[in-house]
């Protein structure tokens, strides 16, 4: 042993070896966890593909609507226990354009609109369901009996991709709970329909209303892995 060369204190080499082994083990656990998380993301994306069809939906008759917005209050009071129109699953707006160019997302009938009160409700879209397709966690599923598209709050992480994906702006977001919300037809007895004093809302058998022009600019925040999986059916 050369007395001029500094030596490690006793036990330091063994501690360093253990530290290296521990680091390798920890790194392996992290990589395994990331791989598992990636797999769960893929499974979640696959689970959000809905091919079944809903049995009913809510339609509005603008010529009968008086703009009282009782439907919005009935929706949130029943579903959320509070009066919060911003959270309502049904959206009431008046078709008025502030200038000849209009406002993106409105009907734009005439240069300045026609003044009708427009009721927008979830169209219970057929496959491919935009909000469900965009959800990376499979949080939007079809209810077993009615086929209604609902939000599984246990899976929702509040990423809001479903809001960006809905062409009609029908996804709501609960700021207090941090989860998305959408119309689920109140389990077959829509409270908004029952609360309407003028009969402007009706619960009818499903028909395809998705051929109408989108109410909001359409974004397609679809996870890459799911987009690739849909390529075979949707050229």
In order of their start, the domains of the chain are 48-230 (3.30.70.20)
pLDDT at 142: 94
Q: Six-digit token pair at 220?
A: 């397609």
Query: Judging by beta carbons within 10 Å of its beta carbon (0-12, 13-18, 19+), is residue 200 exposed, middle or buried?
Result: buried
SS3 content of the chain, % helix, strand, coil (to 5): 35, 15, 55
pTM, to two decimals: 0.69
Rounded average pLDDT per 10-residue block, the chain, 235 residues: 50 48 54 43 54 93 91 94 90 72 55 76 92 92 92 94 90 92 93 95 94 70 68 67
Rounded to the nearest 5 degrees, what angle is found at the Cα of 211, between the Cα atoms of 53 and 180?
A: 60
pLDDT at 159: 93
Quickly tell me which residue has 């006793």 as its tokens.
10
- Could you give the C-alpha distances from 107 to 103, 116, 214, in angstroms and in order? 9, 10, 9
- Could you give the C-alpha distances from 19 to 10, 22, 32, in angstroms and in order? 16, 5, 20
Cβ atoms of residues 197 and 175 within 8 Å: no
């Amino acid at each position: 042993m050369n007395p001029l060369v500094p030596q490690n204190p006793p036990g330091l080499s063994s501690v360093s070896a253990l530290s290296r082994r521990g680091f390798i083990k920890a790194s392996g656990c992290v990589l395994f966890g990331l791989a598992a998380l990636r797999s769960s993301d893929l499974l979640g994306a696959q689970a959000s593909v809905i091919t079944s069809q809903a049995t009913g939906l809510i339609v509005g008759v603008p010529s009968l609507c008086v703009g009282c917005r009782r439907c919005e209050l009935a929706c949130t009071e029943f579903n959320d226990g509070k009066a919060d129109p911003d959270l309502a699953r049904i959206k009431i707006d008046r078709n008025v354009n502030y200038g000849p160019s209009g406002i993106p997302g409105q009907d734009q009938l005439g240069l300045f609109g026609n003044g009708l009160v427009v009721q927008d409700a979830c169209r219970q879209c057929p496959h491919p369901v935009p909000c469900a397709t965009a959800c990376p966690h499979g949080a939007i599923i079809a209810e077993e009996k009615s086929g209604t598209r609902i939000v599984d709050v246990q899976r929702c992480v509040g990423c809001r991709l479903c809001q960006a994906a809905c062409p009609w702006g029908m996804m709501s977001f609960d700021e207090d709970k941090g989860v998305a919300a959408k119309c689920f037809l109140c389990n077959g007895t829509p409270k908004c329909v029952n609360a309407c004093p003028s009969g402007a809302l009706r619960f009818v058998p499903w028909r395809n209303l998705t051929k109408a022009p989108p109410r909001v600019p359409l974004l397609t925040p679809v996870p890459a892995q799911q987009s690739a999986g849909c390529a075979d059916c949707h050229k």
